[in-house]
Amino acid sequence: MTLDANGNGSGESAPLDASPPTPTDEFVGQWRDAAYNCFSSGHKFCREVCPVTQVTRNDTWTPTAFHANVVAMDKGELDIADIAEDYVNCTQCGACELRCPNTLFTGDFYRFRTRTVDLVKSVRTLAVDSGIHQPKWQRWNELTDQRTHEPVLGDQPVGQDKVRDWADGLGIPIGGDDILFVDCEAAFYRTSVSRAVAQLLQMAGHEFGLMEEQWCCGGPAAEMGYRDQAMRFARHNLDNWKASGAKRILVLDPHDYITFTEDYPRYFGAEFDLEVVLVIELFAQYIREGKLTPHVPIERTITYHDPCRLNKRKGVWKEPREILRSIPGLVFNDVDRVTQWAYCSGGGGGLPIEKPELTRLISASRLEKAKEQAVDTLVSACPWSERPLAEAGTAHGIDVVDLHELLAESLGIIVGGQRGAQ
């Protein structure tokens, strides 16, 4: 008879020569049921909303294939070395989870979800832990570890001594009950976004400060499979917040929002007792309350690009539209949020780092859909989305503008900063 951790007998005798489970065994044990559930359903609804499948039509890179691989691993037909590279081809947008019949049958899209995004992250983690690396991801995370911030693609100088440069002249203190966390992309590359957010908060009378020593949130490392590194970065940030007495973390980037509301609670449990506030929801509230009143007309014909991590993964779609409809002068040609389950910038999940050519195809497809709306401007609310979308927008004659910047302009705020290196 074998005993569990509490000294209870299981009624079964373990073989004397039984080997401890390998990481692959543990992985398959965790994901076996979900994989068979997907594999046995026979439906392929997820494929048509998958941004990678839309532009490649490669059956080995579909959500269905990601689960089928686990079935093959359970049968001993495949190992992590055989499949690791396939899992690069995912933006972790979450569209497949929404379109999956196992989600749809419940009738509640935002409570029960299949977990393909978590599966992809788990496969990538197993690969890294097994010594299997994608070369560009490996180099990216080595640089992030050295600098405590992401290298953000390009020649921007990145380092701890520059993480607050975006806030020069704004008089933002260090510390406080509310801390504004500015992701690496907005802190070093697209600084006009972070400056817009800070000045909107100041105009609304919302007191906030910055971290004493902000590191990358760790989310990108976790998405690429470098979970230990992600947890070290998360530990640093949480300790820094606790030491300063912070109660709320204000975030502008949907990627940070996912990391702080999903990853950090998994890492730290009840220790992570801070409130995470998405500033888009905050600004919509302030417009309703009259603390922010857009009054400068902006003569543009726009449509809105729902960032995947807001609409698909968090169900945040009303507030951005509420903000846009409050801005005088805009002609807003919208599409419903369900249609946008199939839309993606290609900017998530590490795809632009390892496979920039796929990101370019996906963002070009998104701009083609925007052009069908007869607009001159595509508005988003995610710095990581806006880089590839802006590049594709140039080819289609469509300007790509951040929602926070647009709101600031309608309030007469001169933002400053850069919209990204040209």
Q: Are residues 54 and 161 in the same domain?
A: no
Q: What is the pLDDT of residues 255-288, one digit of tens each?
A: 999 999 999 999 999 999 999 999 999 999 999 9
pLDDT at residue 3 above 50? no
Q: How far is CA 385 from CA 46, 55, 220, 343, in A?
A: 22, 17, 14, 11
Q: What is the pLDDT of residues 391-418, one digit of tens each?
A: 999 999 999 999 999 999 999 999 887 7
Least confident piece of the model among 81-90, 97-106, 170-179, 198-207: 97-106
Length of the chain: 422
pLDDT at residue 13 above 80? no
pLDDT given at position 15: 54
* Structural domain containing residue 125: 23-129
Number of domains in the chain: 3
20: left (phi over 0), alpha (psi -120 to 50) or beta: beta
Q: Are residues 240 and 301 in the same domain?
A: no
Mean of pLDDT over the chain: 92
Least confident piece of the model among 104-108, 121-125, 141-145, 306-310: 104-108
* CA 251/CA 254 separation, integer angstroms: 8
Q: Are residues 278 and 164 in the same domain?
A: yes
Mean predicted confidence (pLDDT) in 173-190: 96
Q: 254, 284, 314: which is the final residue of a domain? A: 284
Task: Please tell me what DSSP assigns to residue 332.
Answer: E
Mean predicted confidence (pLDDT) in 232-258: 97
Q: Looking at residue 354, which CATH number applies to its domain?
A: 3.40.50.1860
Q: How far is CA 304 from CA 178, 327, 386, in A?
A: 29, 13, 12
Q: Are residues 251 and 316 in the same domain?
A: no
Buried/exposed 281-314: b ≥16 CB within 10 Å, e otherwise: bbbbebbeeeebebeeebebebbbbbbbbbbbbb
pLDDT given at position 371: 96
Q: Are residues 276 and 297 in the same domain?
A: no
Mean predicted confidence (pLDDT) in 235-247: 97
* CA 10/CA 178 separation, integer angstroms: 50
pLDDT at residue 94 above 70? yes
Mean predicted confidence (pLDDT) in 11-18: 54
Helical axes 403-410 vs 191-203, angle rounded to 10°: 50
In a domain, residue 181? The reply is yes
